[in-house]
Amino acid sequence: MLELNTENTRPFISSDRLGSIKSRVESAHGAVLGKTGAGSEFLGWRDLVLNPNDALLEDIIATATRIREDADVLVCVGIGGSYLGARAVIEALTPFFPTDHGPEILFAGHHLSGAYLKQLLEYLDGKSVYLNVISKSGTTLEPAIAFRVLRHWMAERFDDAGDRIIVTTDATRGKLNELRGAHGYRKYVIPDDVGGRFSVLTPVGLLPISAAGIDVRELFYGAAEAAKQLSSRVDNPALEYAAIRYLLHEDGFTTEVLAVFEPRLSAIASWWQQLFGESEGKEGNGLFPAAVQYTTDLHSLGQYMQDGRRNVIETFLIEKNPESGLNIPAVDGPEDGLEYLVGKPVSHVNRKAFEGTAQAHADGGVPNLTISIERASAAELGSLIYFFEHAVAVGGYLLDVNPFDQPGVEAYKSAMYQLLGK
């Protein structure tokens, strides 16, 4: 199970203040468990890990096995929660650079770049391609355009194009069900009671993750174990995280930065950014969530984090025992000033960079927390995913907002469709 270190928030929040909102936090927690809060009809993300559907898991694994055997590339078409969760887990658990083991997983439909789609088609030419389009309505503009382009391209190149396209969508409604009826595409269902940003442990995320060669049983059951542990009111890090964030928000802090020190965790931070931004950013409330990659961004944002406006809090996501990678070698020739590091793993230097950053930022007036996992693995990431989902649900209720809707997202769509003449 992950660990939460709150030491660097103690100068900013007293234990008495935490105690003063204990009953409110427990009430919010109870609303999640008992389905009594706003938007409770969208708590299916919790139900599905407490009542695993092993038959569905095995079916997904079988489909993914076929893709791994037949495809050079799997293109996943979706936006927001329809791709961020899958990308997060895949990038965290697969090699940085392409290998010959299994298909390459690519994404489309997460923006409106015509240049990207054109170059994607050029890259796919001559390869064995499978396509997974993920959309509950089937009408969200970005993935709908990408899917139209890609299915047209596939129909021109593969006699069995219908067998290579998989739709992940609503059980009965939406445009993708109409297209499936016409073309016979294989289908997976997005549960009605699970919103997009909470859907990574449904077929939305599990199929691409499994196609990437990751054990989705371990991922899923890591989340299931976390759901059981985080049902308690005692020693519950999700409740502590939610409470500290809420108190800092009430003190006038406006922004939370989630910082990772391993590049492979950067996409986890991007998934977190959507989860918290869409769940809490309503009615003038919520911390603005921003994802950063350290130490890279310390050389661009480091000055601001250390000496800028004191309205930012920081959460570090680290591995306690990361893959060590290389040791720093001894070399011949003139000294380069690194002799004191000879023989040490680069991961050791990265760890000290984290420790120094956390201390310096706290000393500079930035409250910070640290979430630690043992090492990036399917089970640990499953636990982390559930931890953040539970924490944001509790946090939304503390802010008196519905953490499961996103009315603001519809505003840009309305304006865009009007301008396009729909």
Task: Calculate mean pLDDT across residues 247-252.
Answer: 97
DSSP state of 303: H
Is 142 considered catalytic here? no
Domain for residue 413, yes or no?
Answer: no
Query: Residues of the chain with pLDDT > 70: what percent?
Result: 100
The reply to whether 256 and 202 lie within a common domain is: no
What residues have CB less than 8 Å from 351, skipping those under 6 apart? 261, 318
Are the beta carbons of 276 and 84 closer than 8 angstroms? no
- Res 324 pLDDT > 90: no
Scanning 203-236, the segments in alpha helix (DSSP H) are 203-211, 216-229
C-alpha radius of gyration, the chain, whole number: 22
Please pick, among 91, 142, 278, 314, the residue that the annotation labels catalytic: 278
pLDDT band at 18 (very low <50, low <70, confident <90, very high): very high
The pLDDT of residue 409 is: 79
Give the span between the Cα atoms of 292 and 213, in whole angstroms. 27
The pLDDT of residue 1 is: 78
The reply to whether 89 and 126 lie within a common domain is: yes
pLDDT band at 264 (very low <50, low <70, confident <90, very high): very high
The reply to whether 247 and 287 lie within a common domain is: yes
Amino acid at 188: Y
Q: Which range marks the domain in which residue 246 is found?
A: 3-36+221-408
The reply to whether 53 and 23 lie within a common domain is: no
Domain for residue 421, yes or no?
Answer: no
The reply to whether 253 and 393 lie within a common domain is: yes
Domain for residue 131, yes or no?
Answer: yes
Q: What would the pLDDT profile of 160-206 be if each residue is shown by its tens digit? A: 999 999 999 999 998 999 999 889 999 999 999 999 999 999 999 99
Domain for residue 419, yes or no?
Answer: no
Tokens matching residue 417: 């469709």
Residue that terminates a domain, selected from 185, 214, 243 = 214
Domain for residue 420, yes or no?
Answer: no
Residue that terminates a domain, selected from 169, 193, 214 = 214
Give the span between the Cα atoms of 21 and 16, in whole angstroms. 9
The pLDDT of residue 357 is: 97
Task: Calculate mean pLDDT across residues 320-333.
Answer: 88
The pLDDT of residue 335 is: 83
Q: What would the pLDDT profile of 141-168 be if each residue is shown by its tens digit? A: 999 999 999 999 999 999 999 999 999 9
Task: Calculate mean pLDDT across residues 20-40.
Answer: 97
Q: What would the pLDDT profile of 352-370 be if each residue is shown by its tens digit? A: 999 999 999 999 999 999 9
Domain for residue 55, yes or no?
Answer: yes
The reply to whether 11 and 91 lie within a common domain is: no
Domain for residue 257, yes or no?
Answer: yes
Closest of 177, 139, 157 to residue 75, by C-alpha:
157
Q: Which helix (H) or strand (E) holds 94?
A: none
The reply to whether 202 and 251 lie within a common domain is: no
pLDDT band at 63 (very low <50, low <70, confident <90, very high): very high
Please pick, among 122, 299, 335, 422, the residue that the annotation labels catalytic: 299
pLDDT band at 411 (very low <50, low <70, confident <90, very high): confident
Q: Count of domains in the chain?
A: 2
Q: How far is CA 25 from CA 28, 36, 112, 236, 276, in A?
A: 5, 14, 41, 11, 17
Helix (H, G, I), strand (E, B) or coil at 374: coil
What is the residue whose two structure tokens read 């946090």?
Answer: 395
Q: What are phi and psi of 165, to 5 degrees?
A: -110, 130
Q: How many CB atoms lie within 10 A of CB 81?
A: 26
The reply to whether 113 and 178 lie within a common domain is: yes
- Res 325 pLDDT > 90: no
The reply to whether 103 and 231 lie within a common domain is: no
Helix (H, G, I), strand (E, B) or coil at 167: strand
Sheet holding 288-293, edge to edge: 3-5, 368-373, 312-319, 255-260, 288-293
Is 299 considered catalytic here? yes
Tokens matching residue 263: 């590049």
Task: Calculate mean pLDDT across residues 45-65.
Answer: 97
The pLDDT of residue 36 is: 97
Q: Which of 1-5, 273-277, 322-326 has the lowest mean pLDDT?
A: 322-326
What rounded mean pLDDT belongs to the chain? 95
Torsion 201-206-209-214 (CA) sign: positive
Is 278 considered catalytic here? yes
The reply to whether 166 and 237 lie within a common domain is: no
Task: Calculate mean pLDDT across residues 377-397.
Answer: 98
The pLDDT of residue 381 is: 98
Please pick, among 101, 111, 127, 413, the residue that the annotation labels catalytic: 413
Closest of 355, 382, 260 to residue 315, by C-alpha:
260
Task: Calculate mean pLDDT across residues 65-87.
Answer: 96
Q: What is the CATH number of the domain that holds 61?
A: 3.40.50.10490
Tokens matching residue 29: 């927690």
